[in-house]
């Protein structure tokens, strides 16, 4: 789940907690290849599509505007489902799009999109998706939660071990799990190699404090939200000695 959405749900009384990260980075701000937009300040007066106001990408745009002495009133933000964004950019319905991969990579691979900024350039160590678990399940089955967290940690370590592993994963995932073109997944996992990262997924309080600050500024949250209220870091702290998953793709 998107981190700001999980935090907002918790503030609204939904009994869930964040226990681990899914990955870091994995987003890009795209413009048309021939566009004269080359900096954040060039977006003044332009239309920018974001997934929704509870998305990390919405807050990333807020941070990028803030860092460039701009405000949300300097651009037009449009909420749009990520699968619709490539077509909207191609048709000129919007001037820029931002969401999680692989939709941003699709525009680049098809030849009409250009990366304005990768996530790491706008927000170093950007948090994308988070693993959210109901509190009653955490209470009743902590060993299963730990097993799930360990499995994600092991898979991430395996994936980031080598480009060979990433290419094997792209093929296996495309063929067995998602209706995606293996070529697209290979592109997203390699251009550049750190476009999406799957390690350093432990919960760090200061990372979420920045999310909270921006979420308060953009009125995604109704008020301050203590880290301990929506996060349970003990499971991620137990992944220190976890090694890569012992798997080899056929």
> For strand 16-21 and strand 130-134, is the pairing parallel, antiparallel, or unpaired?
antiparallel
Query: What residue numbers bound the domain in which 146 lies?
Result: 3-23+129-160+198-237
Provide mean pLDDT across the span 149-175.
93
Instruction: Using DSSP, state whether 249 is helix, strand or coil.
Output: coil
* DSSP class per residue in 170-235: HHHHHHHT----HHHHHHHTTSSTTSEE-S--S--HHHHHHHHHHHHHTTSSSS---HHHHB-THH
Please check whether residues 10 and 106 belong to one and the same domain: no
Please check whether residues 18 and 91 belong to one and the same domain: no
Please check whether residues 43 and 8 belong to one and the same domain: no
Residue 136 lies in a domain: yes
Residue 55: which of 224, 220, 201 has the closest Cα? 220
Please check whether residues 74 and 143 belong to one and the same domain: no
Residue 153: which of 237, 250, 56 has the closest Cα? 237
- Mark which of 122, 145, 174 sits at the end of a domain: 122
Sheet of 76-79: strand order equals 76-79, 47-50, 96-100, 27-32, 113-118
Cα 236 to Cα 149: distance, rounded to the nearest angstrom: 7
Residue 146: which of 20, 7, 5, 17 has the closest Cα? 20
CATH of residue 85's domain is: 3.40.190.10
Please check whether residues 41 and 110 belong to one and the same domain: yes
Number of structural domains found in the chain: 2
Q: Where are the beta strands (DSSP E) in 63-153?
A: 76-79, 96-100, 113-118, 130-134
Provide mean pLDDT across the span 1-11.
96
Cα 215 to Cα 105: distance, rounded to the nearest angstrom: 27
- Mark which of 104, 122, 140 sits at the end of a domain: 122
Answer yes or no: is pLDDT of 250 > 70.
no
**What is the rounded radius of gyration, in angstroms, for the C-alpha atoms of the chain?**
18
Please check whether residues 105 and 145 belong to one and the same domain: no
Answer yes or no: is pLDDT of 10 > 90.
yes
Answer yes or no: is pLDDT of 248 > 80.
no
Please check whether residues 152 and 227 belong to one and the same domain: yes
Please check whether residues 102 and 216 belong to one and the same domain: no
Residue 247 lies in a domain: no
Answer yes or no: is pLDDT of 247 > 90.
no
Provide mean pLDDT across the span 119-147.
95
Please check whether residues 100 and 50 belong to one and the same domain: yes
Please check whether residues 118 and 151 belong to one and the same domain: no
Would you state the pLDDT for residue 249? 61
Provide mean pLDDT across the span 78-86.
97
Cα 128 to Cα 27: distance, rounded to the nearest angstrom: 8
Residue 181 lies in a domain: no
> DSSP character for 114?
E
pLDDT, greater one: 250 or 215: 215
C-beta separation of 245 from 157 below 8 A? yes
> DSSP character for 151?
H
For residue 133, the Cα-to-chain-centroid distance in whole angstroms is 18
pLDDT tier at 179, thresholds 50, 70, 90: confident
Please report how the helices 142-159 and 163-176 are oriented relative to each other, as an axis angle in degrees rounded to 10: 120
Please check whether residues 18 and 138 belong to one and the same domain: yes
C-beta separation of 135 from 158 below 8 A? no
Residue 174 lies in a domain: no
């Amino acid at each position: 789940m998107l981190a700001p959405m999980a935090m907002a749900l918790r503030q609204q009384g939904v009994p869930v907690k964040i226990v681990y990260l899914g990955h870091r980075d994995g987003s890009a701000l795209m413009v048309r290849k021939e566009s004269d937009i080359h900096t954040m300040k060039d977006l003044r007066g332009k239309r920018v599509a974001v997934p929704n106001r509870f998305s990390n990408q919405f807050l990333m745009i807020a941070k990028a505007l803030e860092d460039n002495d701009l405000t949300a009133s300097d651009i037009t933000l449009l909420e749009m489902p990520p699968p619709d964004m490539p077509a909207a950019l191609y048709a000129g319905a919007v001037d820029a799009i931002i969401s999680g991969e692989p939709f941003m990579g699709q525009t680049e691979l098809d030849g009409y999109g250009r990366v304005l900024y990768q996530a790491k350039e706008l927000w170093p160590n950007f948090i994308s998706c988070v693993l959210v678990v109901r509190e009653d399940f955490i209470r009743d089955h902590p060993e299963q939660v730990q097993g799930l967290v360990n499995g994600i940690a092991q898979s991430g370590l395996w994936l980031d071990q080598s480009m060979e592993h990433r290419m094997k994963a792209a093929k296996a995932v495309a063929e067995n799990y998602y209706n995606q073109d293996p070529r697209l997944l290979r592109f997203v996992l390699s251009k550049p190699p750190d476009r999406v990262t799957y390690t350093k997924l432990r919960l760090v309080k200061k990372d979420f404090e920045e999310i909270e600050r921006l979420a308060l500024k953009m009125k995604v949250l109704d008020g301050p939200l203590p880290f301990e209220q929506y996060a349970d870091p003990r499971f991620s702290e137990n992944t220190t000695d976890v090694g890569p998953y012992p798997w080899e793709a056929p």
